[in-house]
Amino acid sequence: MSCKKRCFNKGCCGGDKCCDHHKKDCCCDNCKKDHKEICCKVDRLLKECICCEWTVPKGETQTVFQTAGFKKIFGSGFISFCDGQVPYILVSFFNDNHQVGETIKVFNDSCVTFTYTKFNSIKVSCPNLGNNHPDHHEGCEGEICITTSFPV
């Protein structure tokens, strides 16, 4: 993509100066030729798709997705709840132990899709809502698939 087509905010350049340091995606026609590479630098995104099946004992919480060292991760995917004797599971997204967004309920035999930014772990909780009869399944089972993207 040419520099001209990527100039989102022409006000970010002044005279023959390049874009402000905090507006790296802005490229302007009047950037000096020797600074075009800096002005038009675009982070490449690495994308990967990860899927796993999970099992969480009743009354417990398990991390089902974890990253380390990535600060600008975003991802889209789904989490399904396939089997268990509780009506729903709880799914929460975290960034360094701080919850991001609201907890999501996923009902038995269903799934929920999501898109989140600025997170580095996903946790699933299988609530202990009774049904403690020995014949009942003692946990929750499902699957998570997520396509993550982050700058490299």
pLDDT, averaged per 10 consecutive residues of the chain (152 residues), comes to 37 42 46 50 75 95 89 88 94 93 96 92 91 64 92 71
- Parts of the chain belonging to CATH 2.60.120.380: 45-151
Alpha-carbon distance 118 to 123, whole Å? 15
Alpha-carbon distance 146 to 50, whole Å? 5
Considering the domain 45-151 in this protein, what is its CATH number? Answer: 2.60.120.380
Tell me, yes or no, if the pTM score tops 0.75: no
Instruction: Pick the closest to residue 64 from 136, 138, 130, 119 (CA basis).
Output: 119
Q: What is the pLDDT of residue 76?
A: 94
